[in-house]
Structure 1
Amino acid sequence: MSESGDQTKREEEEPDTPDFEAESDDSSDEGEASGDSEMDFLRNLFSRTLGLSPEEKVLDDLSLEGVARYIQSGKCKNIICMVGAGISTSAGIPDFRSPGTGLYANLQKYNLPYPEAIFQIDYFKKHPEPFFALARELYPGQFKPTVCHYFIRMLKDKGLLRRCYSQNIDTLERVAGLEGEDLIEAHGTFHTSHCVSLFCRKEYTMDWMKEKIFSEDIPKCDACNNLVKPDIVFFGENLPARFFTTMKKDFPHCDLLIIMGTSLQVQPFASLVSRVPNSCPRLLINMEKTGQSEFGMGLLGFGGGMDFDSDKAYRDVAHLSTCDDGCLAFAELLGWKGELEELVKREHALIDSKDSKKKDEKTKQSSETPEKTKVAEPEAGKSEKTE
């Protein structure tokens, strides 16, 4: 990737986990980022509308084939992926908004005032039980990464992935082989947990939280007895500071933005699509077109302003399919399909082997009941000698 040594060194020194302590810096970064996004959007909008600066057309065709040829040309060296819940549905994890099957459509059993309440920080502090019950169902470690996850891993292995920005909290990107420096978990992670008290903020490990969740205990801080919550971002909380600092370095250098499995309805994540250079192609692999903003909404900085269909479209491509099917089709055009299928097969077999080994160890431990040592009773008329 085309970065200076100093910049690469600075990135390597960044923490892999979200900085939940720097709330004041986070808020200022978020405000600054929002302002930058609005100005970028307006600048791009008026320059295109008024014809003040003709855009460079990088793709020879607005299709998946055109994007594949662009990658094969060697001119595309910095790819950023933006992904949402749709890349994990084939693993058995529901997305949020699909009618009937989405997470929000199936929360009646938790007796919530409204579906989103399960991820509202104020509601959680008063009623933590629904969230931890849901966490038992969706907890990381119970699912395998999908074809889409491994396609992103291949981009990394081939030196093309600058970063993956994920809305997901299932950690499947990490299971597939992405490491901390490859990944921005915009909506947080189960990898660490913290006490919710701003005066404590004691950190707990993933293993500690997992034990609490599956024992059906409400996790409480042993220092102050307040609730402990996984470091996933609830409504009413700031995004990790690293999201804002890293996007400022990444997006100006992006050669191709690949958006997969997201409705682009949640801000500020959705606004990232407007932060790439004007000439940067943007590929959407999704079940439906998204990110297209109305003129009025665009002026307010909402929506990505993607243009797939107008006569002024010059860089946006929509491939409508499941994320797995889209990645397989894309990989075939790139000549990577066989390699991708072999990677998925090998990694899934490795996960199955590890799971089988863990189950065997648990079975062995439960069957090996230690024999009780029989204590000899003293003979009649004799007392036990105490040494």
Structure 2
Amino acid sequence: MHSLYDWWKRTSRRSMVKPDCTTDENPRILEGNDLKALAKYMKSDSCRNVFIMLGAGVSTSAGIPDFRSPGTGLYANLARLNLPFPEAVFEIGFFKRNPIPFYTLAKELYPGHFRPTPTHSFIKLLHSHSMLHTCFTQNIDTLERRAGVPANKIIEAHGSFATQRCIECRTPFDAEKIKKAVLSEKLEVPRCERKQCGGLVKPDIVFFGEALPAQFHASIPHLRDADLLIVMGTSLTVHPFASLVDFVPEDCPRVLINLDSVGHFNRKHDVVILRKCDEVVRELCTKLGWEEELDAAWEETKDSLEVGEQEPEETAEDEVDKIAKDLKQTLNVSEKGDEEASDKDKAGDSAEPR
């Protein structure tokens, strides 16, 4: 938190005192701390710039597992595999030594397998009503894009599968080629095609040990213009992303829609609703008079699935279990191959003249 605060203080052209942008005609005030009051405020002239913060919880209803839920999250299930630590699958040093676990996981999570949720369609509606300023997302699944939210409205704080490049020379890599390699029956690890390079290719997902995109940092000052902040499906444990909730004006209503109470939502105009994101979004849209628009927008997302793909019948927990089994099998094969290679090397060493 302090490093992000210090960065903003150094780079901001304005005072760190958050300006009071309200007027007597357009005060930023909620009449209550519930959806009814929120909907009334959103329909007023006071609510023009809406900012969104998304975590993995908004994608679980699409069948994509979250990472940190105890017992059912991806990391909890990866803990039983032969990895140095569960997060190693997203650690840049480990990736350089062994990219197989990540690409095994990527094959399961690759865009095109999953349909956006009604929550993603709600964000598109905010844009359609000229209310969406910025959608900050921790998710790498690109479901915001597939729901129809314009790319220039999205800040993928932890990167995504949308682009990819060589980790050595930073040369971009063709999207269709990496897709073919990852989704092939026999997993192929893509490598740079630039002459005299051949480095590992990785989607532009921010791994542990890598810096967040410059666009993320450049967008932080815009939070001072927020009239409303909606935080959905996140544990608010990963910084600096989690710190964004503190950078909106003091009088800006903040809404937490989540299964668990997280962060510090204790300001006068904060709203905390501990339920599933899709359920809350639908109820809010009903109060806004947007329910039919939400249904239409979500219906359009059927086209976001790749040809031949169907909406997954498995739950996010089923998907996690499948990923863990695939990773275990792949790691066993990888270890067996390493052992065979080591045996060959030993045999070769003994045959060499002394």
Is 2:34 the counterpart of 1:63? yes
1:128 aligns with 2:103: no
2:303 aligned with 1:355, yes or no?
no
Which residues of 2 match residues 96-111 of structure 1 at below 5 A?
96-108=67-79, 110-111=81-82
Q: Which residue of 2 aligns with 1:86?
A: 57
**Pair 1:82–1:180, CA change in 2 (3 A):** same
- Aligned equivalents of 1:148 and 1:316: distance in 2? 20
Gaps of 5+ in 2: 19-26, 311-354
Q: Where in structure 2 are the equivalents of 1:310-349 lying within 5 Å?
A: 313-348=267-302
Q: Distance in 2 between matches of 1:165 and 1:333?
A: 25
Aligned position for 1:234: 207
Residue 315 (structure 1) shift: 1.5
Contact persistence 1:34–1:268 (CA under 8 A): no
Partner of 2:180: 211
Q: What do you get for the CA RMSD once the two structures are aligned?
A: 2.5
**Paired residue for 1:255?**
227
Asked if 2 retains the 8 angstrom alpha-carbon contact of 1:195 and 1:221, the reply is: yes
**Quick one: percent identity of the two aligned structures?**
47
Shift in Å at residue 264 of structure 1?
0.6
Q: TM-score, normalised by structure 2?
A: 0.78
SS in 2 for 1:163: strand
| Map 1:172-321 → 2, pairs under 5 A | 172-197=143-168, 200-215=169-184, 216-223=187-194, 224-248=197-221, 250-292=222-264, 306-307=265-266, 313-321=267-275
Range 218-227 or range 283-292, more displaced: 218-227
- Structure 1 distance, partners of 2:34, 2:90, is 37
Of residues 204-213 and 92-101 in structure 1, the stretch that sits farther from structure 2 once superposed is 204-213
How much does 1:232 deviate?
0.3
**Residues in 2 aligned to 1:161 and 1:101: alpha-carbon distance in whole angstroms:** 33
Q: Report the secondary structure of 1:333's partner residue.
A: helix
1:273-308 residue CA offsets vs partner (Å, 9 max, x unmatched): 11111110000110011112xxxxxxxxxxxxx31x
Q: Shift of the alpha carbon at 1:210? A: 1.0
Tell me if structure 2 keeps the 8 A contact 1:220–1:228: yes
2:99 corresponds to which letter in structure 1? Answer: P
In the TM superposition, what is the alpha-carbon distance from 1:68 to its structure 2 partner?
0.9
- Report 1 or 2 for greater relative contact order, CA contacts < 8 Å, sequence distance ≥ 6: 2
Displacement of 1:66 after TM fit?
1.3
Asked if structure 2 preserves the Cα contact closer than 8 Å seen for 1:253 and 1:276, the reply is yes
Q: CA deviation at 1:82?
A: 0.4
Give CA-to-partner distance per residue, 1:85-129, whole Å, 9 cap, x none: 000000000001112221112225652111111111111111111
Which range moved further: 76-85 or 212-221? 212-221
Deviation at 1:57, TM superposition (A): 6.4
**Match of residue 8 from structure 2:** 33
Q: Which residue of 2 aligns with 1:151?
A: 122
TM-score normalised by the chain length of structure 1: 0.71
Q: 1:110 touches 1:130 (CA, 8 Å); kept in 2?
A: no
**Can you list the C-alpha shifts for 1:183-231, whole angstroms capped at 9, x where unaligned?**
001100111111111xx11111322211121231111112201111110
CA contact (8 A) 1:117 1:123 kept: yes
- Cα distance 1:271–1:227, how it changes in 2: closer, same or farther (>3 A)? same
The CA distance in 1 between the partners of 2:9 and 2:109, in whole Å, is 32
Q: How many residues align?
A: 295
- Partner SS state of residue 260, structure 2: coil
2:173 aligned counterpart, secondary structure? strand
Cα drift, residue 343 of structure 1: 2.1
Preserved contact between residue 136 and residue 156 of structure 2 (Cα < 8 Å) = yes
What amino acid is the match of 1:201?
R
Of 115-124 and 212-221, the range deviating more from structure 2 = 212-221
Q: 3-state SS of the aligned residue for 1:238? A: coil
Report whether the alignment pairs 1:114 with 2:85: yes
Q: Mind listing any 5+ residue stretches in structure 1 that lack a counterpart?
A: 1-27, 45-55, 293-305, 308-312, 359-387
Q: Decide which structure has the larger Cα Rg and report it.
A: 1
Equivalent residue of 1:204, what SS?
Answer: coil
Superimposed CA distance per residue, residues 310-365 of structure 1 (whole angstroms, 9 cap, x where no aligned partner): xxx411110111110110111111111122123212432x346x62599xxxxxxx
Q: Does 1:170 align with 2:145?
A: no
Q: Is the 8 A contact 1:57 1:314 kept in 2?
A: no
